Structure formats: structure tokens, C-alpha cells
Amino acid sequence: MVRYRRNRIAGGTYFFTVSLRDRRDDALVRHIDLLRASWQKARSRIPHTVVAAVVLPDHLHAVVRMPETDADYSRLWQEIKKGFTRRLQNAGPSPWQSRFWEHTIRDDDDLRAHVDYVHFNPVKHGLVARVADWPYSSFHRYVREGELPADWGIAATISPMHVSECT
């Protein structure tokens, strides 16, 4: 098996894209409760902080901060994927792509750009016209905590260059 070179920094913050094998599948939102349960169980085994996340029908994006003593985010994704697959009735083979995409966050500007990318992604994919209309996003936590206004992320108000920086 090929061993990918991954940047692993204990206490690091990372941006991830994790996808289903069949990009036409909507299992992640159709079974959002199973994904949430799997992620919660994984959090009890591999501590981490979710800085931002969005779940789309066939993939998810997340910005995750690992604890100062750990950088094993591969194990985190393995646990989430395994838990979700096991919770699906008659799941058969894993619905997940075997790999995931990872980017190490370099600084505050990089973090801000990736958090914006995560939150704007449902609009980018044409699922909604306003970020606030997508229910499976940490955007709503950012609004509750006063970090973003509720009307942030309307398609015409966000610079396309800023949102596409992370692709």
C-alpha cells in the first residue's frame, strides 16, 4: 500500500476534505444522525476541536485542531468513517473514498480563508443561495457566538476569489 506523506504537527490545525466513493450519493445528509454519532464516538477516542465543518450530501469539509500531544488525524478519520459505515444498516463495503485530502493551516489568514471556504461551500455547490439556509454547518455556531452575522455568505456578497482560494 502506498504511504502518503502527510504533515503531522502535534497541536496543529488542519483543513480536510473527506468524500464518499459515489459522488452522486447523499448518504451523509440522509444519515446525518449516524455521522454525528460516529464523530462523537471518535471524539471520545481521539480528542480534537472542530473549528469549522460542513456536511454536504457526498462529502464534508472540516477544520480541525488536534491536541498539543497528538497529530494522528488519520486515526480520527478512520474512526469516523468506520463508525458511520458500521451504523448504516446493510452497508456492505465502505461508502467512503479510502483517502482524504489534508492541508496544514499556516497562519490566521489561512485559517480565516479555510473557515470561510467551509461555510460557503453549500452555496458554491448550488445547494442553497444563503449560507444560513444550509443546516449541516458550523456556521450556525459562529452566528450564535457572535463571530459572524446571520446574513453572511449570500452568494452575491462574497468575493469569488476569496472563497476559491482554498480549492
pLDDT higher than threshold 60 for residue 67: yes
pTM above 0.85, yes or no: yes
Pick the CATH number of 13-161 from 3.30.70.1290, 3.30.1540.10, 1.10.150.120, 3.30.460.80: 3.30.70.1290
Rounded to 10°, the helix 32-45/73-87 angle is 140
pLDDT of 10 reads 81
Q: Is 4 a catalytic residue?
A: no
Q: Of residues 14, 73, 117, 136, which has the active-site annotation?
A: 136
Report CA 81 to chain centroid distance, whole Å. Answer: 13
Name which of 29-38, 68-77, 91-100 the model is least confident about: 91-100
| CA atoms of 87 and 34, how far apart (whole Å) | 6
| CA atoms of 142 and 71, how far apart (whole Å) | 25
What ranges do the domains of the chain cover? 13-161
